[in-house]
Amino acid sequence: MEGLRLHALVISLMLIGACGGSNYGSGQPSSPSPVPSSSGAPPVPTPLPAGVQLSGTVFETTPQGSRAVPGGRIFYWIGSHYGGQIVVDASGRYVIPGLVEAPIIRLTWMPDWQIERGLHQPCPANVAMPSADTQRDIEVVRSGSPGFKYDSPTLSGIVYESTADGRRPLPHTRVLYSIDESGGFDAYTDTDADGRYILCRIPRGNGRLGAGDCNDAVFWFPVNVNGDMVVDTDLRPFKQVCP
C-alpha cells in the first residue's frame, strides 16, 4: 500500500541519508545503498525546548472547494535535522509544539499506513519559523485532480526506461524532490499512465530530484531550479543494478 511504502521510505532515508544514485547526466548510477528493514524504529527525534508552536490544516482542493484531510502524519525537519512526526487529527489539524526560531521548517504529510488514499504532496510546505506561534496549512492533491493549480516554479517530465525500441514510459512510479541531502524529501508524487510527473512551487536553487523504487532506494540526481523546468529521467541504469 502507498502509505506503508512511503512510511518505510521516510524511515529508510532518515536512517541512511542519501540513497543510491549519481549525478544527473553522468551516465551510470551507482548501486543503490542497502536499506534497513522498514520494521525498524525511526531515529529518536531531536529534543526540543519549550517554545512556540507550528500548526495548520492538511487540506485537498476539489472542484467543489477545499476539504480537510483527516489522519496521516506530518514528518518535519528543522533545517537539515530530523525533528519528529506528529499525528494529524480527525479534523485535519496538526500542532508541533516546543519549536524555536528557525530559518526553515520542512513539513511532509504522509497518509496512514493502513489507508490507500491516492493523495500526494507535489509542492513543498516549508516555512520560516519566527519566535511566535505560526500557522502553515499543507495542501495535498489527488492524482489527476482538475481542481489543483501547479504554480511555478515547476519540475515536470517523463520517467522512462530506454529500450531497443525507444523510450518506454514508466507509469505509477514514485518521484521525489529534496532541497538538500539530509535524508528527507520536501515533495512527492507518482507518474501518471504516460509516465509524466509534475512538482510545483519548488524553491529556486540547487536541489535533488529522485525517482524509482529499488527496495526503498531511490535514484537521486542534482538539479538547479531557475524557473519552470522539464527533466526527463531514464531509470534503465538504475534498474539494472537493482538487486
Last residue of a domain, which of 140, 172, 202? 140
Distance CA 158, CA 232 (A): 5
**Integer Cα distance of 96 and 90 in angstroms:** 16
Are 112 and 127 in a shared domain?
Answer: yes
pTM assigned to the model: 0.79
pLDDT digit of tens for each residue in the chain (243 aa)? Answer: 444 455 555 545 544 343 334 333 333 343 343 333 334 455 655 554 578 999 999 999 888 889 999 999 999 999 889 999 999 999 999 999 999 999 999 999 998 865 556 899 999 999 999 999 999 999 999 877 777 889 999 999 999 999 999 999 999 999 999 998 877 899 999 999 999 999 999 999 999 999 998 887 899 999 999 999 999 999 999 988 887
Give a yes or no: residue 44 inside a domain: no
Find the domain containing 73 and state its range.
52-140
Rounded CA-CA distance 38/16 in Å is: 12
Domain final position from 107, 140, 173: 140
Do 30 and 150 share a domain, yes or no?
yes
3-state helix, strand, coil in the chain (%, to 5): 10, 45, 50
CATH classification at residue 106: 2.60.40.10
The domain that holds 174 is classified in CATH as 2.60.40.1120
151 and 203, same domain (yes or no) = yes
* Residues 69 and 125 placed together within one structural domain of the fold: yes
| Strands (E) located in the chain | 52-62, 65-68, 73-78, 81-87, 93-99, 102-110, 119-120, 127-129, 134-135, 138-142, 155-163, 166-169, 174-178, 187-190, 196-199, 205-214, 217-225, 229-230, 233-234
